[in-house]
Amino acid sequence: MPSTLVRTLIGCTAFTIFITNTVVWCTVLFVVRLAKALIPLPAWKRFTTKVLMGIGSIWIDTNSWGLRVTQKHRWDVQGLEGLTEGGWYLVSSNHRSMVDIVVLQRVFNHRIPFLKFFLKSQLIWVPFLGQAWWSLDFPFMRRYSKEEIARHPELRGRDLETTRKACEKFRLAPMSIINFLEGTRFIQEKHDRQKSPYRNLLLPKAGGIAFVLSALGDRLTSFVDVTIAYPDGTPGFWDVLSRRLDRIVVRVKSVPIPPDLIGGDYSGDAAYRERVQTWVREMWDRKDAEIDQLLAP
């Protein structure tokens, strides 16, 4: 392990690469997005959309290069066979760290269509990144609390309508959308508060995945089940940049989607809702056991 001073210098170098890369390519993204908006022709919009996705992939490639030249992470990735950039994929992963997104982008870039994910509406104000996500047509959602819905019942189902509209747009070209079933990063306090029956996972929330299956199930090539583990402990972003992280373990499984889960009504059909939840619970049982094996000495 390098000294603290060396790790700090390495971390600052990697961070500089990341920031410079982000500023440069986000600026290009804004210009292309503006050009896309100014010419309302379908062929032009399709072309500029492909250009935007290409810019996003270059941004990921450069970030990955920056990590390769500054870090010595040992990547243990299995299960990518059979994936293609011409497919439609619903990707689901456990959520251990804010680093998970960086890991998933590196693993899947150029293997499946550019990864998109649902974002909290507040994240659009993150400098550069928020506007880049907007330029790349990432769907932003606002979550309403039970108290807000009680005061304003018309807000009920608003986030589901956002999901439906986003999925309509995703039908136009091959895409990959990722859903973190836990809804948030694993933290032991949250795990204890939920009284989760899983050792390594929070309780899964099946609603989001069910609405994507309902809206896009007939288009989806397969369901991609991802398990991420960090045998050296859950890292923060600085840990990844400053050589405090050694091994990154990723297991990928391409899973056929059960036909009876396609096109159902999660909110209005209790039997369909139970089928989806049962499918998710069985997957979570397997994932919990798999993480135990991956973290074993």
Instruction: Note down pLDDT in tens along the chain; length 297 residues.
Output: 668 888 899 999 999 999 999 999 999 999 999 999 898 888 898 899 889 999 999 999 999 999 999 998 999 999 999 999 988 899 999 999 989 999 999 999 999 999 988 777 777 788 888 888 888 888 777 666 667 667 777 666 666 666 667 777 777 778 898 889 998 899 999 999 999 999 999 999 888 888 888 877 778 888 999 999 999 889 999 999 998 888 999 999 999 889 888 888 887 889 999 999 999 999 999 999 999 999 987
124: CATH: 3.40.1130
284 occurs within a structural domain: yes
Q: Residue 225: beta bridge partners?
A: 92, 253
- pLDDT of 156 reads 65
* In-domain check, residue 243: yes
The predicted structure's pLDDT at residue 161: 67
What is the per-residue pLDDT for 158? 65
Closest CA to 44 of 31, 33, 55: 33
CA angle 125, 133, 207 (to 5 degrees): 95
Which among 142, 160, 271, 260 has a CA at the least distance from the CA of 207?
160
Cα distance between residue 37 and residue 137, in whole Å: 12
Domain of residue 278: give its range.
Answer: 74-295
Q: pLDDT at position 155, please? A: 62
Residue 42 burial class via C-beta count within 10 angstroms: exposed 0-12, middle 13-18, buried 19 and up: exposed
Query: Strand 222-229 to strand 247-255: parallel, antiparallel, or no bridges (unpaired)?
Result: antiparallel
The bridge status of strand 115-117 relative to strand 119-120 is: unpaired
Q: CA nearest 91: which of 127, 119, 74, 116?
A: 116
Position 248 in a domain: yes
> What distance in Å separates the CA atoms of residue 293 and residue 287, rounded to the nearest whole number?
10
> What is the model's pLDDT at position 140?
75
Single-letter residue type at 93? S
What are the DSSP E strand ranges found in the chain? 74-78, 89-93, 115-117, 119-120, 140-141, 176-179, 222-229, 247-255
Write down the pLDDT at residue 197: 95
State the residue for tokens 């072309």.
47
CA atoms within 13 A on the CB side of 80: 14
Angle of the 207-216 helix axis to the 270-295 helix axis, nearest 10: 120
pLDDT at position 249: 96
> Does any domain span residue 22?
no
Q: Do residues 153 and 175 touch, judged by C-beta distance below 8 A?
A: no
pLDDT at 289: 96
35 lies in a domain? Answer: no
**Cα–Cα distance measured from residue 75 to residue 110, given in angstroms and rounded to the nearest whole number:** 17
Q: Distance (Å, rounded) from C-alpha 103 to C-alpha 249?
A: 10
- Structurally, the chain folds into a number of domains equal to 1
Confirm whether 242 is domain-assigned.
yes
In a domain, 39, yes or no: no
- Neighbour tally for 148: CB within 10 Å: 13
Query: Is the residue at 8 inside a domain?
Result: no
pLDDT at site 264: 82
Q: Provide the phi-psi class of 263: left if phi over 0, else alpha when psi is between -120 and 50, else beta.
A: left
pTM higher than the cut 0.85: yes
Q: Which residues are 93's β-sheet partners? A: 226
Residue 84, pLDDT score = 92
Torsion 111-78-98-215 (CA) sign: positive
